[in-house]
Chain A
Amino acid sequence: MLHIFVFLVLIAIIAPALVIVPQSFTSLNYFVYPIKEFSLKWYQKFFENPEWITSLERSLLIAVCVAIFATFIGTLAALAVNKLNFKGKSVFLNIMLTPMIVPVVITGVALYASFAKIGLNNSIPGLVLAHSLLAIPMVFLTMSTAFARFDQNLELAAMSMGSTPIGAFFKVTVPGVRASLVTSALLSFVTSLDEVVVTIFVSGANTKTLPMVMWENLRTTINPTLAVAATFLLVLTLGMYVIKEIVESRTKG
């Protein structure tokens, strides 16, 4: 009984996410099941339309920058909590987690107002800064857990053999938490790649990301090119999960 219930719930949350993929291969110009005739014409339309291609490239560029930047900043914060003794640690912790708690619309409105003053709206650096803000708390949580779990005695052992504390950290701890670093980067990448809400406010005509173009289409002209874009986004995001699992299982093994 319990097994059947759980199985059904799992189907109910996984299957609906996948219905879009077959629709990208339809020959019709609207969505209907069953698909009678398959075709690649919407893929052709996608690749012929510079708006889709440019926005896809732009999204990938921004996501890569966010993956590097947010992982760096978030890891620094996790190290601060793990390695330093300072007053107000819980205040620091709460500040680092705020971007996760504040509803994204508010973040969007607030960033738009502040970016307007310094000319960061409708710019790639502005989007990288905004997306990184949302990704940092996830990196911070992932890396704090990783550092807390890692056996500090290994670092002490390295130091007792003549390594400096910082040297021991890079030689012993960093390789030890490599899988978590990869997870952090992948999470940041996906957060940026899939971000719509803050992007609605901060991006502009010259800096539309793929989700942003999808968002505009979803509200106006829904056609199967949208399913093609969605399929790319799905494959990219799910692909990161697969990479994460592979990296984690290798580290464990």
Chain B
Amino acid sequence: MSTAAFKSGAWDKAKWLLLIVPLLYVVLTMGIPLLDIIRKSFTGPDGFTFQFYVKALSERLYLSVLFSTIRISLIVTVVALLLSYPMAYLSVVAKSSKVRTLITAGVLIPYWISMLVRIFAWQVILQNNGLVNQALMFFGITKAPVKLLYTDLAVTISLVQILIPFMFLSLQNNMKQIDRNLLMASSIMGATKFYGFIHVFLPLSKPGILSGSIMVFVLSLGFYIAPALLGGPDNMMLSNLIETSMTNFNWGLASALSVELLVLVYAIIALTFRLTGNIFVKQY
């Protein structure tokens, strides 16, 4: 008897429970509400309309929010990559197992601390009489406090801190699979450590870089709390615009902007999927 047959027979009786219950749950609480939003985005006071999409894609305010959302997300992705790569690298190649575990734990600890608390903390740190400004003035770098809070910079810093674990885990997951004998081979052939890293290790870590970057980019596109608390009125991101339109009871616009963000997110995921055949990396 094959394993598959063994498996199926008995479990098939529970099919409705295993398959239908979770499916029904997600379809009812996510699928149908999303379809409703798509319908709302095409429904004006006089029935079917494109007016909300025209508005979302032509008015300057909405376009500038869209572009600044993409710009911030790109910066966040690059910075998170530059900071995470050395950590992931060391967490895989370090000789001492203690160092390896400590790095991983160190990256995961902030991940488990409440996100709201972390964003609140940046408010306290970056305010005019906060730690950063105190330090800047103490060392005489500036005389008056620098405006750090309610800027793009504050939003970027906070997003980088929040999203580093996702980048790190993607990178680490991929680097663990790299055959280190290849590095040894290159050094036997006379390559320096640096040469070996650039020509052997780095190219092999590309899949991790790609999946980590896509994940961080997509997650930062949809961020809401950080820009709401750390950004000024000029640093809105798409999510904030959606919330504002909704609190103004402009359902059509809020829905059209939601669909716009959703299409953006799924387009990027679909593209990556086509390129690599895989996007989901293990998370924990």
Contact A196 B121 (CB under 8 A): no
Q: A205 near B: Cβ within 8 Å?
A: no
Chain A contact residues: helix, strand, loop or mixed: helix
Q: How far is the CA of A183 from the CA of B113 in the complex (A)?
A: 15
**8 Å CB contact of B121 from A17, A156, A183, A194:** A17
Which residue of B has the minimal Cβ distance to A211? B116
Residue numbers in B under 8 Å from A251 (CB-CB): none
Residue numbers in A under 8 Å from B37 (CB-CB): 106, 109-110, 113
Q: How far is the CA of A85 from the CA of B87 in the complex (A)?
A: 40
Encoded as 1 (CB less than 8 Å from any B CB) or 0, chain A from 21 to 33 comes to 0010000000111
Q: How far is the CA of A230 from the CA of B229 in the complex (A)?
A: 15
Contact B117 A76 (CB under 8 A): no
Q: A61 near B: Cβ within 8 Å?
A: no
Band of interface residues on A:
35 or more
The size of the chain B interface, using a CB distance under 8 A, is 88
8 Å CB interface, B1-30 against A: 3-4, 6-12, 14-15, 17-19, 21-23, 25-27, 29-30
Encoded as 1 (CB less than 8 Å from any B CB) or 0, chain A from 182 to 204 comes to 01000100100110110011000
Encoded as 1 (CB less than 8 Å from any A CB) or 0, chain B from 162 to 181 comes to 00100000000000000000
Q: How far is the CA of A62 from the CA of B221 in the complex (A)?
A: 28
Contact A133 B113 (CB under 8 A): no
Encoded as 1 (CB less than 8 Å from any B CB) or 0, chain A from 141 to 177 comes to 1100100000010001001000011100000000000
Say how far B153's CB is from chain A's closest CB, in angstroms: 14
Extra contacts, 14 of them, besides A10-B106, A105-B224, A237-B117 (Cβ < 8 A), are A3-B99, A16-B125, A76-B18, A83-B7, A84-B15, A85-B4, A85-B8, A103-B224, A113-B36, A114-B36, A133-B25, A136-B22, A190-B112, A211-B114
- Using a CB–CB cutoff of 8 Å, the interface residues on chain A facing chain B are 2-3, 5-6, 9-10, 12-14, 16-20, 23, 31-33, 73-74, 76-77, 79-80, 83-86, 92, 95-99, 101-114, 129-130, 132-133, 136, 138, 140-142, 145, 152, 156, 159, 164-166, 183, 187, 190, 193-194, 196-197, 200-201, 211, 214-215, 218-219, 222, 226, 230, 233-234, 236-238, 240-241, 245
Report the 6 A-B pairs with minimum CB-CB distance, sorted nearest first: A103-B222, A165-B10, A110-B33, A241-B112, A77-B22, A80-B18
